[in-house]
Copies of this chain bind each other. A is one copy, B any other.
Amino acid sequence: MKKLKPYYAVIFTSTHTENTKGYSEMASQMEGLAKQQQGFLGIESARETVGITVSYWENLDAIKTWKANTEHLLAQQKGREQWYNWYKVKICKVEREYEFKHD
Say whether A52 faces chain B, with CB atoms less than 8 Å apart: yes
B54 touches A46 (CB 8 A): no
Choose one: B17, B80, B86, B88; the contact of A97 (CB below 8 Å): B88
A47-B46 contact given A9-B90, A102-B86, CB 8 Å threshold: yes
Choose one: B45, B86, B98; the contact of A88 (CB below 8 Å): B98
Say whether A27 faces chain B, with CB atoms less than 8 Å apart: no
Choose one: B46, B85, B100; the contact of A102 (CB below 8 Å): B85
A95-B97 contact given A45-B48, A46-B47, A46-B50, CB 8 Å threshold: no
Closest CB-CB distance, A44 to chain B, in whole Å? Answer: 6
Interface size of A as a range: 35 or more
Binary per-residue interface labels of chain A (6-19) against chain B in the complex, 1 for a CB within 8 Å, 0 otherwise: 00010101000100
B45 touches A102 (CB 8 A): no
Interfacial chain B residues near A85, Cβ < 8 Å? 101-102
Interfacial chain B residues near A54, Cβ < 8 Å? 11, 13, 52, 54
